[in-house]
Amino acid sequence: MDLKDQLKNLFPEHVEEETPSETNDAPEIWIQDDPIICKYEKRKGKPITILEGYNGAQEDFKILAKEIKTKLSVGGSFKDEKIIIQGDYRDRIMQILKEKGFKVKRVGG
């Protein structure tokens, strides 16, 4: 007899409550009305994608940057309220952001 059975014998009128399961593992990020600007630049001859224009909390922007980098398996950084992704991934980044509910504006190239 395990502990659960012993507790049922001691408290027969007790009804077990189901714990709510979390369906979304990702933390909630504030979604703004203004579009996020997705730019393409070359720095020192190497292509980069820059995301700017997010006016939510800085922690939310960092979470978003980390999520994009892990989904694309690329390097990047978060500086001066901009996400800098190594390589030209504008189309894929825009698709990821639109799935999350953001408005995205493509600028340049």
Question: How many angstroms separate the CA atoms of 25 and 54, rounded?
Answer: 22
Question: How many angstroms separate the CA atoms of 95 and 76, rounded?
Answer: 18
pLDDT tens, position by position, 23-59: 554 557 777 778 899 999 999 999 999 999 888 788 8
pLDDT tens, position by position, 66-83: 999 999 999 999 888 899
* 104 in Cβ contact with 36 (< 8 Å): yes
pTM of the model: 0.69
- For the four alpha carbons of 47, 35, 96 and 71, in that order, the dihedral sign comes to positive
* 28 in Cβ contact with 95 (< 8 Å): no
Question: How many angstroms separate the CA atoms of 8 and 81, rounded?
Answer: 55
